[in-house]
């Protein structure tokens, strides 16, 4: 979704901020890395078996992640409430946050169409 | 158009205008008095009135420094032939209101009013007819004027820096530069109104939604105070060591850091909060929800772990809303609290502690008599609550 988005994908590649998201309540980890020349804009690996070091690490429950990607969770407030834990070069997260906003609408449409019980 | 008529329009004698043409002060004149040539002639008049010599104006014209001037012709407002009483009659407004509006809009009744001014008054009369009170309408007019003034200033400065100066450096002729700038203005000006309209509607939708939510959370009649006075959460945030940073890193590097800081405030603020103004590296934020704004401040600090660290103060109290800004004792107090905070710290006052409750951890720091305040203010640091 992020990688193919004509607006978001190239910007995430350009921002060049490798990110690690951990969802401890379901035991999942995903690592994102900007693609190289000729590759997709963002590479996703659902494990820590990656050849790069994440610059930003965000840990959150899936409920928070679901709210966040629907544009309903303010990152700063979620951090203050300890719903999101940020690590690494947290300042780099501020570069990524505005880039992801266009993804929210895609995600909301997908939730409404395919997983209406997750709509918030 | 004859030389005599052009001279009459510009306001000089035909002899003077003819001499300016011969001296090369009006390169736009090519056997015809086009609007661009008349614009340049008016510009020469203004330059002469400011004391510049013909030789100085000729040199500035030749190297393109005046190429921007003829563009003012695109915004000619027509002759000011209407008195305040006539303008009031044409717009169906009280003459006293026309005079007050003129003051707000930067018009001088003693100069008279043009057809364009009357059109403006007619728009405002329609706003009043629709039910907007006079005081609110005057404040709105002031806000529009300030906002448009800021937009126009930015447009002129940015075109100057990014278009006009590079053209001058490229060594083009004065006519080429004027032509280039006219093309730019002609291509972009028609887009301004639809662009403003779309942005205005988008922002209106956003703020109406916030207002509706605010009403849902406020009991009618509760905390009844004067019109224009409202209880708001006020935050001031800036960067510690900004002055030293400017000295050490240079103005451009420091400005880059400030722009990123302001941008990071904008992208992380809660929905009901907004940046009211920025002064250097300081940002003033107003929000309707003291809990959300304080939580934002605490979370925002967690997103900064290297210098220059922000320092933030949050206070909750009644402020007077006027002309798009917030004023009063409580705003001053919030600003003073911010001056007491250290890098990486969020300082808050007693009303914030009481509004937020146990969602965050507060530590009483001290009771401090802030500059300009007779009584001491209780100050607390705010942090995430323990896990």
| For chain B, domain boundaries | 3-62, 84-209, 229-384
Closest CB to A77: pick one of B270, B304, B387.
B270
**DSSP-H helix ranges across chain A:** 8-15, 62-69, 75-80, 90-114
Query: Three-state DSSP class for A40?
Result: coil
Q: What is the pTM assigned to this prediction?
A: 0.74
pLDDT in tens, B350-372: 999 999 988 899 999 999 999 99
Query: Which residue in chain A has the smallest CA separation from B271?
Result: A74
Residues of chain A with Cβ-Cβ distance to B272 below 8 Å are none
* Pick among A80, A86, A100 to test the B interface (most B CBs inside 10 A): A80
Residues of B in contact with A90 (CB under 8 A): 302-305
Nearest CA in chain A to B294: A77
Residue A69's contacts (CB-CB under 8 Å, 6 or more residues apart) are A103, A104, A107
The minimal CB distance from A76 to the residues B271, B303, B387 is found for B303
Q: How far apart are CA B61 and CA B24, in angstroms?
A: 8
Q: What is the CATH number of domain A8-118?
A: 3.30.1050.10
Nearest to A74 by CA among A109, A107, A98, A106: A98
Q: Mind listing the pLDDT tens digit for each residue in A30-64?
A: 998 887 777 777 788 889 888 888 999 999 999 99
Q: How would you write the pLDDT of chain B (387 residues) with one tens digit per residue?
A: 889 989 988 889 999 999 999 988 888 888 888 877 888 888 888 888 888 898 888 888 887 777 776 676 667 667 778 898 999 999 999 988 999 999 888 888 888 899 989 999 999 999 999 999 998 999 899 889 888 988 888 888 888 888 888 888 887 777 778 778 888 888 888 888 899 999 999 988 888 887 776 666 555 555 555 677 889 999 999 999 888 888 888 888 888 899 989 999 998 999 889 999 998 899 999 998 999 999 999 999 999 988 899 999 999 999 998 888 899 999 999 999 999 999 999 999 999 999 998 889 999 999 999 999 999 999 999 999 988
Chain B hits for A57, Cβ within 8 Å: none
CB B300 to CB A86 under 8 A?
A: no
Rounded distance, CA B326 to CA B324, Å? 7
Q: Nearest CA of chain B to the CA of A33: how many Å?
A: 21
The number of C-beta contacts closer than 8 angstroms across A and B is 64
- Whether B346 and B294 have beta carbons less than 8 Å apart is answered as yes
Query: How many angstroms separate the CA atoms of B112 and B90, rounded?
Result: 14
Of the candidate CATH numbers 3.40.50.620, 3.40.462.10, 2.60.120.10, 3.30.70.1230, the domain formed by B229-384 belongs to 3.30.70.1230
C-alpha to C-alpha distances, A8 to A12, A31, A68, A89, B386, nearest whole angstrom: 6, 17, 16, 21, 36
> Which of B267, B314, B384 has the highest number of chain A CBs within 10 A, making it the mutation to test binding with A?
B267
Minimum Cα–Cα distance from A75: chain B residue: B268
Q: Touching check for B360 and chain A: CB below 8 Å?
A: yes
Calpha distance A89→B52 (Å, rounded): 56
Please list, in sequence order, all residues whose beta carbon lies within 8 angstroms of the beta carbon of residue B210, skipping any fewer than 6 positions away: B271, B272, B288
CB hemisphere CA count around B253 (13 angstroms): 10
CB within 8 Å of A33: residues ≥ 6 apart: A18, A42, A43, A45, A50, A52
Is A80 an 8 Å CB contact of chain B? Answer: yes
Q: How close is the nearest chain A Cα to the Cα of B228, in Å?
A: 29
Residue B103 phi, psi dihedral angles, 5° rounding = -60, -45
Tell me which residues of chain B, numbers 258 to 297, contact chain A at a CB-CB cutoff of 8 Å.
Answer: 260, 263-264, 267-271, 292, 295-296
Q: What is the DSSP string of B100-139?
A: HHHHHHT--GGG-B-HHHHHHHHHHHHHHHTT--HHHHHH
| CA distance to A23, B121, B135, B142, B226, per residue, from B322 (Å) | 47, 22, 10, 10, 12
Contact map slice: B 157-186 vs A, CB within 8 A: none
> A80, B305: Cβ pair inside 8 Å?
no
CB atoms A74 and B270 under 8 Å:
yes
8 Å CB contact of A80 and B298: yes
CA distance B359 to chain A (A): 7
- Tell whether omega for the bond before B308 is within 30 degrees of 0, i.e. cis: yes
Q: pLDDT, tens digit, for every residue of A68-120?
A: 888 889 999 999 999 999 998 888 888 888 777 777 888 888 899 998 999 88
* Cα B108 to Cα B25, B100, B112, B119, distances in angstroms: 32, 10, 7, 16
Q: What integer pLDDT is reported at residue A41 of this predicted model?
A: 75
Q: How much is the ipTM here?
A: 0.86
Q: Which of B266, B238, B283 is nearest to A94 (CA)?
A: B266
Residues ≥6 apart with Cβ < 8 Å to B175:
B27, B28
DSSP B165-178: HHHHHHT--HHHHH
């Amino acid at each position: 979704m992020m990688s193919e988005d004509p607006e978001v994908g190239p910007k995430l590649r350009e921002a060049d901020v490798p990110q690690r998201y951990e969802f401890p309540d379901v035991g999942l980890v995903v690592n994102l890395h900007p693609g190289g020349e000729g590759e997709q804009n963002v590479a996703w690996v659902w494990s820590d078996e990656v050849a790069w070091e994440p610059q930003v690490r965000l840990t959150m429950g899936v409920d928070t992640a679901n709210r966040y990607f629907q544009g309903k969770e303010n990152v700063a407030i979620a951090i203050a409430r300890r719903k999101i834990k940020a690590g690494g070069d947290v300042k780099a997260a501020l570069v990524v946050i505005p880039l992801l906003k266009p993804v929210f609408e895609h995600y909301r449409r997908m939730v409404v169409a395919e997983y209406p019980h997750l709509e918030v | 158009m004859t030389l005599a008529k052009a001279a009459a329009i510009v306001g000089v004698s035909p002899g003077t205008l003819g001499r300016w043409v011969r001296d090369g002060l009006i390169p736009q004149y090519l056997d015809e008095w086009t609007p661009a040539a008349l614009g340049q002639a008016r510009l020469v008049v203004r330059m002469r009135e400011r004391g510049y010599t013909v030789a100085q104006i000729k040199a500035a014209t030749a190297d393109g420094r005046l190429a921007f001037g003829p563009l003012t012709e695109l915004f000619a407002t027509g002759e000011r032939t209407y008195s305040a009483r006539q303008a009031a009659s044409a717009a169906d407004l009280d003459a006293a209101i026309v005079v007050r509006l003129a003051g707000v809009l930067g018009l001088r009744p003693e100069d008279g009013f043009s057809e364009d001014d009357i059109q403006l008054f007619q728009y405002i009369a329609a706003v009043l007819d629709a039910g907007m009170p006079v005081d609110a309408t005057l404040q709105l007019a002031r806000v529009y004027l300030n906002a448009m003034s800021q937009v126009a200033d930015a447009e002129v400065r940015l075109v100057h820096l990014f278009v006009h100066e590079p053209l001058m450096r490229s060594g083009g002729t004065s006519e080429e530069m004027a032509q280039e700038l006219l093309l730019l203005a002609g291509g972009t000006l028609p887009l301004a109104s639809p662009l403003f309209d779309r942005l205005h509607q988008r922002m209106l939708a956003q703020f109406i939604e916030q207002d509706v939510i605010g009403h849902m959370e406020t009991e009618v009649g509760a905390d009844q105070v004067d019109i224009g006075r409202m209880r708001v959460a006020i935050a001031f945030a800036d960067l510690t060591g900004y002055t030293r940073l400017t000295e050490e890193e240079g103005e451009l590097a420091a400005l880059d850091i400030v722009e990123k800081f302001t941008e990071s405030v904008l992208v992380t603020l809660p929905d009901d909060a907004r940046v009211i103004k920025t002064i250097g590296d300081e940002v003033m934020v107003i929000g309707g929800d003291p809990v959300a704004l304080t939580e934002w401040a605490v979370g925002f600090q967690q997103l900064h772990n290297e210098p220059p660290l922000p320092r933030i103060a949050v206070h909750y109290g009644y402020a007077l809303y006027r002309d798009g800004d917030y004023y009063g004792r409580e705003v001053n107090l919030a600003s003073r609290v911010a001056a007491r905070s250290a890098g990486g710290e969020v300082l808050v006052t007693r009303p914030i502690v009481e509004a937020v409750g146990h969602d965050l951890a507060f530590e009483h720091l001290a009771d401090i008599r802030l500059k300009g305040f007779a009584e001491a203010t209780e100050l607390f640091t705010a942090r995430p609550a323990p896990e």
